């Protein structure tokens, strides 16, 4: 069965998911914040800024109007940067259909409140929408999804029936969706893996090898799981697609924005200069600050997160960060 779907956010990931859904025969409206880019995308059938080289299916309607994208759509897919979720969602709430399902494919934490995005949406949406919230996460580079390379992801939902419906809407021969009832765990894993990916990039930029990277991924996953469980998530989630799967991809894949940013820092560049020259968002930069604050709030040891925070916000030398991690008090695993 085909659906009318509004995709809110035309970055690389939002555009790739819009193409996926349109390819399944769904009627897709893709919202882009920048009016000039939305008009250009509608005219050229290409998102040349965020996902160049791919032709949009004719069935995708590009727009800069939230009302057009949301009104009369039973399915809304939100794919905006995490720090803009509250602002954008507040703007589209008035246009929501009464029985709409809202799916979030953003990864991150709200910096001021330290809320996962599920809590942000609950804070904004009327209560009747809360059980119809879903969260898409897992190892998935936008370009590879657009190229129809086999991909498996996780979908967290509060209502199993809603999760099953969304699973069927997205899944095809190249994109396999697994349901998961652990909304919080899936969200925390998806947010924190970006912080560890920055650390992975730093190590790569410094010229370290496989031993170092394996240690980082293993201990980084342990930190993610410690915080996630302390906040109420399921430990098993962190060994699945949303946890280990996404961590491995983001820490080792050359298409990772967070890993790329970390690599440049490892080679001696400064964060401010990198951010000024980038059009895309490396979510791990903001998440590093929120994750550090959460670690302090829950009294959880997260030494990797702490060092990434100091690299990004206090200008710490990467060599000193590695030294401090390696010289911590010895303990059991």
Which entry of 73, 107, 193, 286 is annotated as an active-site residue?
Answer: 193
Q: What is the mean pLDDT of residues 44-61?
A: 96
Pick the CATH number of 184-326 from 3.40.1710.10, 3.40.50.300, 1.10.1040.10, 1.10.490.10: 1.10.1040.10
Give residue 110's pLDDT: 95
CATH number of 4-181: 3.40.50.720
Give residue 18's pLDDT: 98
Active site residue 297: no
- Helix-helix angle 183-206:318-326, to 10 degrees: 110
Give residue 268's pLDDT: 94
The string of pLDDT tens digits covering residues 220-229 is 999 999 999 9
Integer CA distances (angstroms), 313 to 208, 275, 285, 289, in order: 23, 13, 9, 8
pTM score of the predicted model: 0.95
Domain positions in the chain? 4-181, 184-326
Token pair listed for 126:
């009327």
Query: For 258, how many CA atoms within 13 A lie in the half-sphere containing its CB?
Result: 28
The vertex-214 CA angle with 220 and 210, nearest 5°, equals 145
pLDDT bracket for residue 275 (50, 70, 90): confident
Nearest to 240 by CA among 163, 301, 156: 156
DSSP readout, 242-254?
IIIIHHHHHHH-T
8 A C-beta contact, residue 160 and residue 181: yes
Number of residues that this document lists for the chain: 333
The string of pLDDT tens digits covering residues 283-309 is 999 999 999 999 999 999 999 999 999
Q: What is the mean pLDDT of residues 182-204?
A: 97
The string of pLDDT tens digits covering residues 92-132 is 999 999 999 999 999 999 999 999 999 999 999 999 999 99
Give residue 278's pLDDT: 74
Nearest to 186 by CA among 105, 124, 80, 113: 105
Q: What is the mean pLDDT of residues 240-266?
A: 96
Q: Compute the distance between CA of residue 93 and CA of residue 304 in angstroms, rounded to an integer.
A: 38
Give residue 282's pLDDT: 80
Other beta carbons less than 10 A from residue 87's beta carbon: 10
Q: What is the mean pLDDT of residues 44-65?
A: 96
DSSP readout, 170-239?
H--SSEEEEEES-HHHHHHHHHHHHHHHHHHHHHHHHT--HHHHHHHHHHHHHHHHHHHHHTT--GGGGG
């Amino acid at each position: 069965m085909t659906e009318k779907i509004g995709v809110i956010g035309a970055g690389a990931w939002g555009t790739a998911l819009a193409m996926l859904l349109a390819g399944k025969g769904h009627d897709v409206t893709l919202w882009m914040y920048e009016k000039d880019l939305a008009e250009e995308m509608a005219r050229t059938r290409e998102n040349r800024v965020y996902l160049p080289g791919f032709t949009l299916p004719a069935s995708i309607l590009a727009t800069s109007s939230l009302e057009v994208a949301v009104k009369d759509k039973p399915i809304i897919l939100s794919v905006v940067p995490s720090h803009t979720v509250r602002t954008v969602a507040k703007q589209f709430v008035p246009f929501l259909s009464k029985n709409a399902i809202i799916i979030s494919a953003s990864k991150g934490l709200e910096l001021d409140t330290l809320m996962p995005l599920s809590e942000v949406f609950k804070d904004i949406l009327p209560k009747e929408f809360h059980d119809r919230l879903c969260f898409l996460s897992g190892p998935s580079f936008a370009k590879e999804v657009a190229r129809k390379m086999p991909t498996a992801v996780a979908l967290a939902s509060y209502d199993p029936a809603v999760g099953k419906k969304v699973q069927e809407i997205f899944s095809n021969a190249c994109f396999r969706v697994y349901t998961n009832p652990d909304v919080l765990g899936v969200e925390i894993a998806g947010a924190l893996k970006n912080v560890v990916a920055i650390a992975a990039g730093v190590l790569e930029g410094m010229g370290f090898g496989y031993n170092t990277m394996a240690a980082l991924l293993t201990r980084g996953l342990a930190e993610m799981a410690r915080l996630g469980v302390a906040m109420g998530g399921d430990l098993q989630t962190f060994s699945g697609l949303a946890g280990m799967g996404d961590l491995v991809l983001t820490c080792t894949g050359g298409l990772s924005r967070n890993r790329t940013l970390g690599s440049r820092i490892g080679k001696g560049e400064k964060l401010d200069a990198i951010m000024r020259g980038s059009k895309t968002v490396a979510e791990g930069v903001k998440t590093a600050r929120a994750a550090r604050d959460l670690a302090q709030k829950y009294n959880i040891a997260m030494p990797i997160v702490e060092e990434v925070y100091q690299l990004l916000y206090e200008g710490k030398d990467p060599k000193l960060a590695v030294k401090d991690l390696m010289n911590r008090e010895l303990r059991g695993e």
